């Protein structure tokens, strides 16, 4: 992800794979065992001394381990709640803000960029947030091996790498298979919320999602959704608005 799309894009962070880039049906119970195409590139993954200290100090409370396998949301958070999953949160500012503004909900962030994970945990600790946890792992593996099936209330994917060149479009994370993987972790009535500032990618997202039989476009067939209040307006978007750049939100209900 690229700087600074939401802060999800401050670094080219989250690495997700698209194993089947055609319309092959997904067996929801089958884990993904082989990666073939990377949908983004991890850059600058080394932490500064200060970031490492924050990471080490806060991981025991906020960190979740891929190796621990399938989790239970009520056990993790100590309550029944609406659980929101966000993939690729970058440096974590907007995710921390959402968790602060919605204390009745619980949030799980998934990010492979260690400095971003360290920053999110530091922000959460400073705000005293108890309704946030984080994986520092590949989201495809976390979704397949750790997240409960049919349980999350929302899944967020904000400003993923658009892979501008046509020859790289197949690397875009939003593909039919990924949409089915998201559906597998969403409960019925849950929302899959995407946002991008790259119009060709917005059109690609719309094309992919409109063909999914187990989703309904919350804005109406073929339409984009106005930015909802719960998605923070980032400095990047504010600057983009001044320059005449657009941002497209899409929300689909399972």
Residues serving a catalytic function are 161
Would you give the end-to-end CA distance of the chain in angstroms?
Answer: 26
């Amino acid at each position: 992800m690229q700087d600074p799309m939401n802060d999800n894009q401050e670094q080219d962070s989250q690495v997700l794979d698209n194993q089947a880039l055609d319309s092959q049906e997904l067996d929801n119970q089958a884990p993904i065992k082989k990666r073939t195409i990377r949908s983004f590139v991890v850059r600058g993954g080394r932490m500064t001394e200060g970031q490492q200290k924050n990471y080490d100090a806060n991981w025991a409370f906020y960190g979740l381990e891929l190796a621990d396998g399938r989790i239970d949301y009520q056990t993790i958070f100590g309550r029944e709640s609406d659980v929101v999953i966000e993939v690729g949160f970058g440096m974590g500012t907007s995710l921390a803000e959402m968790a602060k503004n919605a204390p009745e909900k619980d949030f799980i962030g998934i990010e492979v960029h260690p400095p971003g994970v360290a920053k999110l945990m530091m922000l959460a600790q400073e705000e005293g947030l108890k309704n946030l946890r984080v994986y520092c792992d590949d989201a495809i593996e976390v979704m397949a091996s750790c997240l409960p099936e049919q349980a999350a209330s929302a899944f967020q994917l904000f400003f993923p790498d658009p892979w501008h060149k046509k020859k790289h479009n197949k690397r875009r994370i939003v593909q039919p298979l990924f949409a089915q993987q998201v559906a597998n972790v969403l409960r019925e009535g849950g929302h899959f919320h995407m946002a991008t500032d790259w119009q060709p990618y917005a059109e690609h997202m719309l094309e992919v999602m409109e063909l999914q039989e187990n989703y309904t476009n919350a804005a109406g067939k073929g339409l984009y959704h106005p930015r909802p209040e719960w998605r923070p307006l980032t400095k990047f978007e504010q600057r983009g608005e001044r320059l005449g750049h657009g941002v497209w939100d899409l929300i689909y209900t399972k």
